[in-house]
A and B are shown apart, each in its own frame.
Chain A
């Protein structure tokens, strides 16, 4: 059974700082997704990583994938308050059926 673990689960940081969220998964997969969720809202797609070594960047967020280590990271650069949300990674277990991590609740303080 595919398991996806994120850490940390809670992260409180100051504006302007950098930090990384880690996503480990237990079985082989070549596709990994990152989503953002605001309280009471649905999921917003951030990145789809399709192969080993894939790196994607959008604004202050950068995601990478190492399929050999079964690890993805989401790096936040110079955080701003608007990035406060819960971030989920999800692994494709075939046919785009996604297994999600527990989520990382990120709070960015002024």
Chain B
């Protein structure tokens, strides 16, 4: 499978716990994006990387959220001290700057905070 992959697909956690999600982009894609989607809404941009550099963070990304992309390959999104309002689908997408404008989405990680 050469698409964007995400792990885990589902995560149930208790309020106050930390969680970490992983995204593996399409090989050679130099841009990687994180979005959050709540029920009945469109995805909202959270942050993006070009290679290993995190170039922009949305104001939606509170201090409890951190993202990394070591060596410009896979990325992780960590949420510390989860709150019920963090329950959502977290989507990762990747693209190749300078080649095509297509942005491909992964299957998402559905987070439920109880």
Contacts and interface: CB of A to CB of B under 8 A. Distances in A.
A2 B46 CA distance: 15
A103 B41 contact: yes
B91 A98 contact: no
Interface stretch (A37-45, A57-65, A68-76): A37-45
Interface in B22-81: 31, 33, 35, 40-45, 48, 50, 55-56
A103 B40 CA distance: 8
Contacts, number: 60
Contacts of A95: 31, 48, 50, 55-56, 97
Contact of A42 (B42, B48, B95, B106): B106
Interface residues of B, number: 25
Given A42-B91, A43-B91, A99 B45 contact: yes
Size category of the binding interface on chain A:
20 to 34
A98 B44 CA distance: 8
Contacts of A103: 40-42
24 contacts: A4-B42, A31-B101, A33-B103, A42-B106, A42-B107, A42-B108, A43-B105, A45-B105, A50-B101, A88-B43, A90-B42, A90-B43, A95-B48, A96-B95, A96-B97, A97-B45, A98-B33, A98-B35, A98-B43, A98-B103, A100-B43, A100-B44, A101-B42, A102-B41
Given A33-B103, A48-B100, 14 more contacts: A31-B101, A42-B91, A42-B108, A43-B105, A93-B45, A95-B31, A95-B48, A95-B50, A95-B97, A96-B48, A98-B35, A98-B45, A101-B42, A103-B42
Interface of B: 31, 33, 35, 40-45, 48, 50, 55-56, 91, 95, 97, 100-108
Interface of A: 4, 31, 33, 35, 41-45, 48, 50, 88, 90, 92-93, 95-103
